[in-house]
Each structure stands twice: as C-alpha cells, then as structure tokens.
Chain A
Amino acid sequence: ILNVEQSPQSLHVQEGDSTNFTCSFPSSNFYALHWYRWETAKSPEALFVMTLNGDEKKKGRISATLNTKEGYSYLYIKGSQPEDSATYLCAPNNAGNMLTFGGGTRLMVKP
C-alpha cells in the first residue's frame, strides 16, 4: 500500500492570491501521477496526468510540476478565484488503473 501525502490539508486564501500545494509519494515503481479537482456535489475531474521526471503541465491558471526521483509534485494556482474552491487530489499510478489517492488539499477562496 502506497503512502501518499498531501499538504496542507486545507487552505483559505483571498481571491487573487496565488497558492500551491504538495503531493508526496514513493518514487519506486512509478508510472504516472494524476491530479484531480473535486468540487462539492460534483464528480472528481482530471486536471493532469504526468509521467516524466521534470514534467510540467498547465491548464489556464493551474499548473503542476513533477519530480519522480524524489517523489513529489506541486500544484500551483495563480490568481485564485472563488470557482477554484474544491478539494485537490493527487494519485500516483503504480499498477494499471489502480490509483492510490492522497487525502487531498481542500482549498477555499474567499471573494
């Protein structure tokens, strides 16, 4: 069973602030790292799937980086908006589609 840690557990920011959170995972047997956004009363939605060390992905104001050698990924949100309020989940993929999810970072953006 993989140990996947996300920090912080929760985060309150003001609209317009930029923020970032961390996902730590074992670096052995690594194949891919997934990031999902889960808004209240909705389904988790894929943000990024990253596979290569040094990979950087960007989607609008959200970006992510990956370090597979040391086992971590950062998710950045530039100029947070209230609609960014959600729980952000990371999950390494070490065997097929068996994702091991971290506990998530709950982001709340105040207008």
Chain B
Amino acid sequence: KAGVTQTPRYLIKTRGQQVTLSCSPISGHRSVSWYQQTPGQGLQFLFEYFSETQRNKGNFPGRFSGRQFSNSRSEMNVSTLELGDSALYLCASSSLGPRVLHEKLFFGSGTQLSVL
C-alpha cells in the first residue's frame, strides 16, 4: 500500500508569490490534515479536510487555504508569500475521519518551502 505522497519535495519562491502544495493520502483514507513545521514553533495544525469539507482550522491567516477533491487528494495554497512562511509543510491522512478521535495519523515526507 503506497504511503502519503506530497509534491513537490522542495520549493523556492519569492515574497509576494503564491504556492500550491499537493498531498495524496493513503488509498481509502478520507481525512487529510496539514501541519506547518518551523524551528521556532514546532508542528502547528493548519486545517483538516474530510470528504471535501474543511472540518477544523488552525490559527493561521486567510492567506493559507486548502481544498480536498472527491478522490481525497488535497491541495494547500499560500498566497502573498512572506519570509516567515518558510517551513516544512506536512500532510497526514487517516482512515476514519474526525469522528474517530483515536485514529493515528500517517504522515507524508513533507514539502520544504523556502521564501526568499
């Protein structure tokens, strides 16, 4: 069974640009969540999607958005990039969605975004 796949692996952008990151969950998983990892803040929750609906959202500005498609693949978009958006962005999938709170997450390898 293939794991969680994130593309691209590395990305370099300049301030003011926008970026789209992609995440393909494990086959059969319907919940996809996104996290941001920075050295100073650790892993922080961005948002979670289940069956194409955003179910939870973390404390991030509106420049961060996402969506989920009918095949459970998810994309995350960051508009008007700032230097502070440089981070590792991880997505994670789980099989049963937010109503099953003890379901473990399966993480992808992440997209390393550098904003210059």
Residues of A within 8 A of B (CB): 1, 31-32, 34, 36, 42-46, 49, 51, 89, 91, 93, 95-104
Contact = CB atoms under 8 A, between A and B. Distances in A.
Interface residues of B, number: 31
B75 interface: no
Given A96-B56, A98-B56, A101-B42, A34 B105 contact: yes
B21 interface: no
B55 interface: yes
A86 to B, nearest CB: 13
B70 interface: no
Contacts of B109: 42-43
Nearest to B93: A97
A12 B44 CA distance: 26
B42 A97 contact: no
Interface of B: 3-4, 31, 33, 35, 42-45, 48, 50, 55-56, 58-59, 90, 92, 94, 97-99, 101-110
B42 A31 contact: no
Contacts of A104: 42
Contacts of B110: 43
Contacts of B50: 97
A91 B110 CA distance: 19
A100 B101 contact: no
A1, A31, A44 — most chain B CB neighbours (10 Å): A44
Contacts of B90: 43-44
